[in-house]
Amino acid sequence: MNLKLKVWRQESSKHKGKIVEYKVHDISPDMSFLEMMDQLNQSLIEKGQDPVAFDHDCREGICGSCSMYINGQPHGPENMITTCQLHMRSFNDGETVYIEPWRASTFPIIKDLVVDRSAFDKIIQAGGYISVNTSGNSQDANAIPIPKENADSAFDAATCIGCGACVATCKNSSAMLFTAAKISHLSNLPQGQVESSSRVISMVNKMDELGFGNCTNTGDCAVQCPKGISLDNIAKMNREYLKASLKSEK
């Protein structure tokens, strides 16, 4: 099939960006979206033009690198997948496809479709871990049985890939879903409960300090999240935050 692409081009954060139109031909429905972008880039290189920059690495939906706004939706039209898992069979011959970067003041544009998501690392550094030493002198792994239910919900929350689609889609650019996923992963496990109060306070404060917006319960984040991270995590985080704030006032 043949497509018309409208792609956001921007040389750097200091330059102004604009939409540029390209045409791509002979696209196979079995191609992945990024392979279609590869084909576009090869044709640009042949013409001596700068190819479109975009982040990608694993190309199987797990590293969280790829980050494109496709036709107004983060990671494109299908649910529960990342851009790299999107295939061209989801598009029709002759269609116009808009391709833009994540938009959020906390994720400044680096070039074209590449944005700076280092704020996410900072949120984790603020307490998204369990403070144990890596010496291996821990107790036996089976010393504390963990109900399967809790282990499973910890796992579900822990599958967040840090892609940032939740922030990009939110009208307030809130990072609640990302932050809540980590908090809920750790506090669902006995090992993580010890520090749960200090963790929630410091991660939430960090998130605010970095300039991520408030949550107004629109729920768009969970709809667009490629890993199906649920809104329940936000509710859980709010409860923990309240509990922790009350405790610290005592």
DSSP characters for 195-247?
Answer: THHHHHHHHHHHHHHTT-----S--HHHHH-TT---THHHHHHHHHHHHHHHH
For residue 212, report the phi and psi dihedrals to the nearest 5 degrees.
-70, 145
Classify burial at 216, counting beta carbons within 10 Å of its beta carbon; exposed 0-12, middle 13-18, buried 19 or more.
exposed
We find the least distance from the C-beta atom of residue 204 to ligand SF4, in angstroms, to be 15
We find the least distance from the C-beta atom of residue 158 to ligand SF4, in angstroms, to be 10
Q: Which does 225 bind (CB under 5 to 8 A by kind): another protein, ligand SF4, ligand FES, none?
A: ligand SF4
Q: Is 63 in the site for ligand FES (CB under 6 A)?
A: yes
**Site size for another protein, by CB under 8 A?**
78
Q: Is 24 in the site for ligand FES (CB under 6 A)?
A: no
> Where does this chain touch ligand FES (CB under 6 A) — which range of 76-84, 133-141, 169-177, 238-246?
76-84
* The one among 133, 171, 217, 250 contacting another protein by CB under 8 A: 133
Residues 177, 152, 219: CA angle, nearest 5 degrees: 25
We find the least distance from the C-beta atom of residue 213 to another protein, in angstroms, to be 21
Binding residues vs ligand SF4 (CB under 6 A)? 160-166, 177-178, 181, 225-227, 229
Return the number of other C-beta atoms located less than 10 Å from residue 53's C-beta.
Answer: 15
Question: Two tokens at 249?
Answer: 């006032």
